[in-house]
Amino acid sequence: MMVWSGFLASLAAVLAATLLPWSNFVGHSHWAQVQWIPFYGRRLDWFDIAANGALFVPLGYFAGGFLAVGLPGKKPLWVLVGATLLSTSAEFMQIYSHGRFPSATDIGCNVAGAALGLVISARRSSDSSKYRPLGGGKSWQRTTVEPIDRQGVIR
């Protein structure tokens, strides 16, 4: 349940940050405002780059937890494809907005943020596999295998 709520909350945050305010949407496009070349142009802002990446980290983290479970093949790739499609769709919607400036830089940073979230999710899940409940109880304790010599002494 927590993974679902975390994923939905991060998805709502991404949609709100990339599409609001709705009052800026108009019935005509602004193709001249699109920055087609990533990390180049008049609106290169390092804060914007960091914010775009950070916005997608939770989405990648929670998507890595449950979305890729039933998909065939390379599961992280499916999550990154989903992040790319979501980011590209949001940037496309900004073409029809006053005051929003779609760019390829935003798409790249968003996908990089989702990839970072996937890495964090994978590291956390690999660390949790080192823990197991003792005696069927709810307490968790780290389990390690210590090398033992022939006399039964732990080295």
Establish if 151 belongs to a structural domain.
Answer: no
Specify the pLDDT at position 116.
95
The DSSP letter of residue 27 is S
Establish if 152 belongs to a structural domain.
Answer: no
Establish if 155 belongs to a structural domain.
Answer: no
> In which domain, by residue range, is 69 found?
2-142
Establish if 124 belongs to a structural domain.
Answer: yes
SS3 25: strand
Count the domains in the chain. 1
Specify the pLDDT at position 113.
97
Of 144, 138, 3, 7, nearest in space to 83 by CA: 7
Q: From the first residue on, what is the mean pLDDT of each consecutive set of 10 residues in the chain (155 residues)?
A: 80 88 82 87 82 94 70 74 94 88 93 94 67 45 52 56
Establish if 147 belongs to a structural domain.
Answer: no
* Residue 41: both structure tokens together: 């142009």
Please report the DSSP string for 85-131 in residue order: HHHHHHHHHHTTBTT---BHHHHHHHHHHHHHHHHHHHHHHHHHTTE
Establish if 154 belongs to a structural domain.
Answer: no
User: What pTM does this model have?
Assistant: 0.74
Specify the pLDDT at position 67.
54
d(CA 55, CA 76): 18
Establish if 38 belongs to a structural domain.
Answer: yes
> Which whole-number Å values give the CA distances from 118 to 9, 60, 65, in the listed order?
17, 5, 8
Establish if 153 belongs to a structural domain.
Answer: no
d(CA 118, CA 62): 8
